[in-house]
Structure 1
Amino acid sequence: MILSEHQIVRKEKANGGKGHIIIEHLLSQDQLQNQCGMFAHVTLEVNCSLGYHEHHGNGEAYYITKGTGLYSDNGTMVEVKAGDVVFCPDGEGHGIENTSPTENLEFTALIVNTPK
């Protein structure tokens, strides 16, 4: 099955971040069937960030596909670039900021629900 239509959402100041983020949902909630919270392509334009937030009941992975950024891993700042993968397990927190003055930061985000 090829899915060519995706819901695209622009969120202002996501989790208290700067500017906006653009989320292209690659699969709908119906398709995820409560096994995952989200599978999406996320774009952070120049001077934008996704604010620090904690995960409860799920974990989240980012696969960086374009650009450079600064990732908060429970408050420890780590530089990330295309090809990097970061993971925030259940009960921990993270955030990410585009640090490039000219290029978008793009990543695939997957939220995996923690088994009960």
Structure 2
Amino acid sequence: MRIEDRNNVQNGKGTVHFEYILTAEEMHGYNTLYARITLKPGCSVGYHVHQGNGEDYFILSGHPTINDNNEREVVLHPGEHLFCPDGRGHSIINNTSEDVVFMALIVTSPKV
């Protein structure tokens, strides 16, 4: 498993810790990211729009705030998820004093 810390992901705040479960090659191009991600307090993945894929955040621990396509903000809890489909945008931020841990899966949209 490859582990990586990245700063200012999608112009977000702080350092984001990635634990990659499978590589894009191992997923044969169907998906491009499958990782367990940790956000320390105050850290975020900035707002971004998906083109050619969608992304699901499944919360393992903590209570992150999700910006869902600039239409609403929602606080998710462990066991909940939010899917951002192709053509829509989202961000995730940890506004709490505890770590947020979630699974992220980027799913490639079918070729029409």
1:97 paired with 2:93, answer: yes
Distance 2:83 2:14 in 1: 23
Out of 48, 57, 60, the position equivalent to 2:55 is 60
Distance 1:47 1:62 in 2: 18
Query: Structure 2: which 5+ runs fail to align?
Result: none
- Normalised by the length of structure 2, the TM-score is 0.95
- Normalised by the length of structure 1, the TM-score is 0.92
1:10 paired with 2:5, answer: yes
How many Å apart are 1:17 and its aligned residue?
Answer: 0.6
Other-structure match for 1:70:
65
Distance 2:76 2:24 in 1: 29
Instruction: Indicate the percent of aligned positions where both proteins have the same amino acid.
Output: 39
Distance 2:64 2:25 in 1: 32
Query: Structure 1: which 5+ runs fail to align?
Result: 1-5
Other-structure match for 1:3:
none
- Aligned alpha-carbon RMSD (Å): 0.7
Out of 33, 36, 52, the position equivalent to 2:31 is 36
Contact 2:23–2:32 (CA under 8 A) maintained in structure 1: no
> After TM superposition, which residue ranges in structure 1, 4 or more long, deviate above 2 angstroms?
none
Q: What secondary structure, in the 3-state scheme, does the structure 1 residue paired with 2:42 have?
A: coil
Aligned residues: 110
Distance 1:28 1:56 in 2: 20
